[in-house]
């Protein structure tokens, strides 16, 4: 079978154009995957459309969240290539009504162009293509305020992708080390001598040194019990993407632990550079996912085995849970008191704040409310975007 010969067929060009359309839709497809897709089409043949789609999906998709995008675009592209542009317009939120057409060879464009009158067939009106734009601006605005627990499967995947782009700048504090600056309180004598060497030994200006600023160390404790199941995966993806910007100075040292019936260290998972790989490693490490919540025992394990993660009472602790603890409230109170004394701020991030009349009436929630420096909401994209400002407000309080 020949796929790329100009005299017999143009499926190879269509596969290359399909790969470019996938890239514009956010799927990671390079030239090597497109070449593998051509080889896969040669192996499975063109007799069954389902076999061709499965073969192309196996070699062109490397992430689980891209499979639905691939299948929808494959159905539209290989049914009518002209429909791919409008499908891209609804899948890409930044598009303004119409995506750019996929670049193809001139022979392919001529084959897809409508015939002109007098070319052997009467002219026909272009096929009218209409889409129910599910990802319009109003739909995205609704998803930004929608609770994570009430999202459908497709909406959950989309919101998870949006959450990975949300920034989390941590408040900064003066460090011990200094640097040359204009508003410093200490003289910078090496700089003064260096400038005096240029002016014949005359000191015309006395440079200063000021203290550097560094972000606070961050310790995250994430509840992975059954009541937090819908929030755990999404918040893990959000935290991992945010901590990837450590080189840019937005966030400093970060330790992440998951707790249910016991404590699980996710340091190895968060060393993964890819968020999907991190989620896979974290899922394998957490063996009490969707179980009960014993926060007191988990904090006791943190104090016994990982107390050095709390750096000199400068660590900012984010405790993400709904407060539905099944352990003893007295043990939880003792551990929370210890944690409060060994950190700079203890912030309780509670998804149940989505309810306007929420009150921490449960025993575990009452202890958290008593010992935490502040309680913040984390139940939709809007609250995640406001999280940094809310943290700064609590720090200044």
Tens of pLDDT, residues 338-384: 999 999 999 999 999 988 889 999 999 999 999 999 999 999 999 99
Consecutive H or E run containing 373: none
Q: How far apart are CA 314 and CA 318, in angstroms?
A: 13
Alpha carbon separation from 167 to 71, 89, 316 (Å, rounded)? 31, 26, 17
Average pLDDT over residues 109-117: 43
The answer to whether residue 246 scores a pLDDT higher than 70 is no
255-306 pLDDT tens trace? 999 999 999 999 999 999 889 899 999 999 999 887 889 999 999 999 999 9
Q: Which three-class secondary structure state does DSSP give residue 123? A: coil
Q: Are residues 259 and 189 in the same domain?
A: no
Does residue 330 have a pLDDT over 90? Answer: yes
pLDDT of residue 373: 94
What is d(CA 303, CA 309) in angstroms, rounded to the nearest whole number?
Answer: 9
Quote the DSSP letter at residue 288. S
What average pLDDT does the segment 137-156 reach?
A: 84
Lateral strand order in the sheet of 208-215:
172-181, 208-215, 186-187
Across the range 187-213, mean pLDDT stands at 88
When pLDDT is averaged across residues 141-168 and rounded to a whole number, the result is 88
- Phi, psi dihedrals of residue 176, rounded to the nearest 5°: -75, -35
- Residue identified by tokens 């900064």 is 172
Instruction: Using alpha carbons, select from 39, 71, 69 the residue that is nearest to residue 54.
Output: 71
Are 145 and 168 a contacting pair, CB within 8 Å?
no
Secondary structure tally for the chain: helices H, strands E: 17, 9
Average pLDDT of the residues in 243-259? 71
Give the separation between CA 375 and CA 136, rounded to whole angstroms.
33
Residue 205 has pLDDT above 90, yes or no: no
Q: Which range (103-107, 152-156, 180-184) has the least confidence?
A: 103-107
**Percentage of the chain with pLDDT > 90?**
35
Q: Is the pLDDT of residue 7 over 50?
A: no
Q: What is the mean pLDDT of the chain?
A: 81
Q: What is the mean pLDDT of residues 235-249?
A: 75
234 has a pLDDT exceeding 90: yes
Q: What is the mean pLDDT of residues 304-322?
A: 92
Domain-ending residue, one of 72, 95, 118 = 95
207 and 222 co-located in one domain = no
Note whether 365 and 244 are same-domain residues. yes
**Is the distance from CB of 242 to CB of 168 less than 8 angstroms?**
yes
C-alpha distance from residue 285 to each of 229, 242, 277, 333 (Å): 15, 21, 12, 28
* Least trusted range by pLDDT, from 21-25, 175-179, 228-232, 281-285: 21-25
367 lies in some domain: yes
**Of residues 94 and 111, more confidently modeled:** 94
Q: Which residue has the tokens 């592209």?
A: 77
**Tokens of residue 328, six digits:** 């003893």
Mean pLDDT of 69-75: 84
The two tokens of residue 18 are 């399909």
- Mean pLDDT to the nearest integer, 54-60: 91
Residue 146 has pLDDT above 70, yes or no: yes
* Number of domains the chain contains: 3
Q: Is 163 among the domain residues?
A: no
Q: What is the pLDDT of residue 119?
A: 46
Stretch 18-46: mean pLDDT: 84
Residues 229 and 315 in one domain: yes
- Judge contact between 306 and 290, C-beta under 8 A: no
The CATH number assigned to the domain holding 293 equals 3.40.50.410
**CA nearest to 292, candidates 320, 259, 318, 335:** 259
- The answer to whether residue 21 sits within a structural domain is yes
| pLDDT of res. 318 | 96
**Is 86 a residue whose pLDDT tops 70?**
no
**Shared domain check, 317 and 231:** yes
Counting residues of the chain whose pLDDT is more than 70, the rounded percentage is 81
Whole-angstrom distance, CA of residue 326 vs CA of residue 262: 12
Look at residue 237 in the predicted model and tell me its pLDDT: 93
Q: What is the pLDDT of residue 89?
A: 55
| Domain co-membership, 225 together with 258 | yes
Residues 303 and 258 in one domain: yes
Q: Give the domain extent around 377.
A: 216-396
Rg (CA), the chain: 28
Q: Is residue 152 part of a domain?
A: no
The verdict on 253 and 349 lying in the same domain is yes
| Average pLDDT for 118-142 | 53
- Dihedrals phi, psi of 170, to nearest 5 degrees: -90, 140
User: What is the three-class DSSP state of 119?
Assistant: coil
Residue 247 has pLDDT above 70, yes or no: no
């Amino acid at each position: 079978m020949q796929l790329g010969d100009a005299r017999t067929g143009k499926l190879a060009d269509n596969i290359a154009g399909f790969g470019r359309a996938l890239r514009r839709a956010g799927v990671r497809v390079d030239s090597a995957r497109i070449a593998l897709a051509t080889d896969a089409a040669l192996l499975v043949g063109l007799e069954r459309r389902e076999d061709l789609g499965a073969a192309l999906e196996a070699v062109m998709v490397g992430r689980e969240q891209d499979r639905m995008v691939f299948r929808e675009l494959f159905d539209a592209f290989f049914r009518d290539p002209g429909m791919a542009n409008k499908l891209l317009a609804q899948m890409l939120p930044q598009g303004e009504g119409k995506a750019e057409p996929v670049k193809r060879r001139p022979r392919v464009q001529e084959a897809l162009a409508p015939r002109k009158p007098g070319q052997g067939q009467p002219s026909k009106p272009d096929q009218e293509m209409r889409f129910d734009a599910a990802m319009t601006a109003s739909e995205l605005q609704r998803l930004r305020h929608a609770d994570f627990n009430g999202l459908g499967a497709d909406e959950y995947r989309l919101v998870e992708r949006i959450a990975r782009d949300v920034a989390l700048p941590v408040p900064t504090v003066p460090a011990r080390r200094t640097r040359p600056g204009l508003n410093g309180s200490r003289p910078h004598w090496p700089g003064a001598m260096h400038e005096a060497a240029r002016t014949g030994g005359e000191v015309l200006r006395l440079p200063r040194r000021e203290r550097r600023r560094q972000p606070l160390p961050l310790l995250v404790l994430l509840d992975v019990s059954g009541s937090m199941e819908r929030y755990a995966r999404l918040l893990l993806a959000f935290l991992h993407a945010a901590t990837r910007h450590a080189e840019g100075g937005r966030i400093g040292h970060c330790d992440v632990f998951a707790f249910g019936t016991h404590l699980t260290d996710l340091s190895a998972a968060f060393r993964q550079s890819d968020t999907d790989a991190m989620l896979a490693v974290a899922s394998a490490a957490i063996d009490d996912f969707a179980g009960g919540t014993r926060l007191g025992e988990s904090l006791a394990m943190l104090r016994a085995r990982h107390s050095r993660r709390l750096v000199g009472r400068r660590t900012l602790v984010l405790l993400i849970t709904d407060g539905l603890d099944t352990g003893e409230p007295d043990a939880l109170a003792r551990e929370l008191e210890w944690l409060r004394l060994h950190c700079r701020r203890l912030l309780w991030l509670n998804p149940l704040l989505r309810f306007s009349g929420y009150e921490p009436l449960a025993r575990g929630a009452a202890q958290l409310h008593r010992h935490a420096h502040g309680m913040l909401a984390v139940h939709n994209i809007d609250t995640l975007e406001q999280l940094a400002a809310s943290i700064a407000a609590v720090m200044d309080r």
